[in-house]
Structure 1
């Protein structure tokens, strides 16, 4: 039986034809899918560039500096180490890193060395939209204050010099120049704080600090509390800081109040008075004020208290035995307080949103005992009023985007430019190139098969002649 002689060179070409066909088909399918990828990246980039950041409600509008009525100080007050933070610091949004849509290279596969030269090369896909510009540096500042808290030694001195600690934080992303102003209530005066000068009306202005991003520091303001200041309680003041940064238009600021807290007094034997602090949660709902009046004498006495609240804070519904003398004053009768006993009273308290934003504030309470025999005994003290709304007030800074910048807002006009035409041209070129590659692979496979089929006839040995 005659055998067909298939040469090794032909068998090798047949084995190489099939991988080449598979590779060409895979390349064509991959390139055919590339136009979808090419049109996705530029669209998302254009949507991000078209969405304008909206102003976030609740942000503080930059204001101008107060009118100066006195000489402005040239030096800033001395600084000291800030107290440890008891609550997490305000979060500041760091500028997002600039990102660009990655180029989507067309897949390429090297042809075997024995195969003919490959077809036309596939051009790379390039994003048509320009890269977003870097964000503008933001300026931000935050201030917190302690209270002016007096001890029992206050009652034995004509006046008391103490300090008010103010802590400042540069919450921005750029160095800033920070200035401080503070207002003292009646009965308090400046005790010679270096770097600060009076502007009149209890207002003082200090020199300027240069602060790095994220820097946090404190300064101590020296204040003098008059010996008769207790007669004007409740007393509260305020502190405000403003910051300006190079390259950032306008200025930003923050403010916080502080309370002047007096101990119970003037000291009188036979009576004890105590009041708890008032705290409003983030909802701003009504809170409660607890007052305790103790009879430490030897005889029974008729007790009464009077609560004095700052502007914006009131007792909406006085309990039984209490009467609203004015929006800021509530008087309560406690009846007979036996010797050695303590009467307790609880009053509901509400505050307007403006008053809560100005917190901490101070309130005052006066306690009185009128014994059946002897002189009437009376003392008074102040208590602190705080609100979560004051801590939650956003630090003034440039408005930030309120939504995703990669999605067009509803009803926003579509972005139309010449990029769409270039993208379509690129897609057509890719499709044509992939089609040519497929046709080239089919032609190569067909030619190889024809040669294989013709090989037996050409290579078969001739029959011997007898």
Structure 2
């Protein structure tokens, strides 16, 4: 009788521990399958789903595998380069040597000067002689153990490449000869650098402001309103070169100042999907003028630091004539650049200009106005830009004298390295590479770390379930048999 009771208790204990063990093993399998990368069609399980599964198994509940249709999948594949039907020149513009890159000077390091202190009175001076006793010569270290035999070579992984491109421009700076010509030819230097790790095909396009026309740059052709596109270069990784874009500045373009244009480059590679692009603006800088005797005008360049905080613009108007005059200064800024708080005596005009009354300016003296200028992040990224300022001297007797000029606007935000397009190989390896890129941003665990963590947790759950089952069986064997119920025939 007692043996039969023990057998029935063991069977009941086994039936009760069996579901718990099965649930733990099922949960471990689900977590391990979610942690390990699968084929390209499998969607990774979100961290919250894994945590919920672990908590449910610890509580002794059954957990259904997550529905892959309700969890976020991987990133959308990068689209292929867009092919346009616009006419594109068959040859690229000629290249010239790029300007030298400016790098900050290396910090100078000097050895620290040893400090000597005089001995205190009554104390012996420290001895500078070496001890006579010789230290024993240490025995040579034992030879390192032999390296284990090398295993089979790891399977070759497809090479990973990165697309990257950067463009920098120089301004169109006009000299005083502009005021004597009907139109002035000028060249815009554009420097392109392949910052990726693949051989790329680089396209160049640029847009000119109103008042400037193309002057026949070889390898470039108009494709729209004031927009030009050039042929492609083949640039090796690390290659850096310049090209000269020919333009013509009209004689009345100064009436439309400030003038700014833009340049854009796009890079792609036949061995990679996606594209990399970068753009930068350029400023058209006019000299003070038209030349008028009795007046002088100057505006300092405007620069924004890496924080993007507002910066100060100084404008000076000088009366170089023989009679006193009343001064006025007008400031014109490009889109995205504003003066939040106008100085005293300044008013905002309907056309966006700021008009300031400079007060009386005596002959031979000057007046200076300082503006606190702010710019949006988009405007700073498009820099260098151009602003314009005009000065007016109105004497009590005689004609008024007016002069205007443009000034340069730069921002450190435009000098930051553009993002690099990471290109992953195709197939299941592409899924692994793309998942590794998503986990390498520092915002969470990488896929490999997540897999190791989930497998470890799954193993611990299996061990815990086996331990609980063993403890339950051991307790059933050691507990005294229960008394038979009244009327039982066993």
> Which TM bucket (shorter chain)?
0.5 to 0.7
Q: 1:236–1:258: 8 Å Cα contact kept in structure 2?
A: yes
Distance 1:351 1:308 in 2: 13
Q: 1:48–1:408: 8 Å Cα contact kept in structure 2?
A: no
Give the 4+ runs in structure 1 shifted more than 6 A.
Answer: 47-52, 123-127, 129-132, 415-418
Q: State the SS of the aligned residue for 1:138.
A: strand
Distance 1:131 1:322 in 2: 72
Shift in Å at residue 357 of structure 1?
Answer: 0.9
TM-score normalised according to structure 2 size: 0.62
Matched, 1:386 2:410: yes
What do the CA deviations read for 1:272-322 (whole angstroms, capped 9, x no partner)? Answer: 000011111111100011000010000011001000000000000001111
- Relative to structure 1, the CA distance from residue 67 to residue 295 in structure 2 (aligned partners, 3 Å threshold; closer, same or farther) is farther
Residue segments in structure 1 that go unaligned for 5+ positions in a row: 1-46, 53-60, 89-106, 109-122, 419-466
- Relative to structure 1, the CA distance from residue 63 to residue 153 in structure 2 (aligned partners, 3 Å threshold; closer, same or farther) is farther
Q: State the SS of the aligned residue for 2:217.
A: coil
Q: 1:270–1:297: 8 Å Cα contact kept in structure 2?
A: yes
Matched, 1:80 2:96: yes
Q: State the SS of the aligned residue for 2:405.
A: strand
Match of 2:378 in 1: 354
Distance 1:131 1:317 in 2: 65
Q: 2:80–2:273: 8 Å Cα contact kept in structure 1?
A: no
- Relative to structure 1, the CA distance from residue 256 to residue 62 in structure 2 (aligned partners, 3 Å threshold; closer, same or farther) is farther
Matched, 1:408 2:424: no
Distance 2:353 2:453 in 1: 55
TM-score normalised according to structure 1 size: 0.65
- Relative to structure 1, the CA distance from residue 227 to residue 64 in structure 2 (aligned partners, 3 Å threshold; closer, same or farther) is farther
Larger RCO of the pair (alpha carbons < 8 Å, separation 6+): 1
Shift in Å at residue 402 of structure 1?
Answer: 2.1
Residue segments in structure 2 that go unaligned for 5+ positions in a row: 1-34, 39-43, 46-77, 105-144, 424-436, 460-490
Shift in Å at residue 246 of structure 1?
Answer: 2.7
Match of 1:101 in 2: none
Match of 1:215 in 2: 239
Q: 2:338–2:374: 8 Å Cα contact kept in structure 1?
A: yes
Match of 1:191 in 2: 215
Match of 1:177 in 2: 201
Q: What number of residue pairs does the alignment pair up? A: 332
Matched, 1:286 2:310: yes
- Relative to structure 1, the CA distance from residue 279 to residue 68 in structure 2 (aligned partners, 3 Å threshold; closer, same or farther) is farther
Q: State the SS of the aligned residue for 2:422.
A: coil
Distance 2:190 2:79 in 1: 21
Distance 1:170 1:75 in 2: 19
Distance 2:286 2:355 in 1: 20
Matched, 1:316 2:340: yes
Distance 1:151 1:63 in 2: 45
* Larger gyration radius, structure 1 or structure 2: 1
Q: What is the RMSD of the two structures over their aligned residues, measured on CA atoms? A: 3.3
Distance 2:254 2:83 in 1: 30
Match of 2:301 in 1: 277
Q: 1:322–1:331: 8 Å Cα contact kept in structure 2?
A: yes
Q: 1:264–1:380: 8 Å Cα contact kept in structure 2?
A: yes
Distance 2:320 2:455 in 1: 80
Q: State the SS of the aligned residue for 2:255.
A: helix
Distance 2:80 2:185 in 1: 33
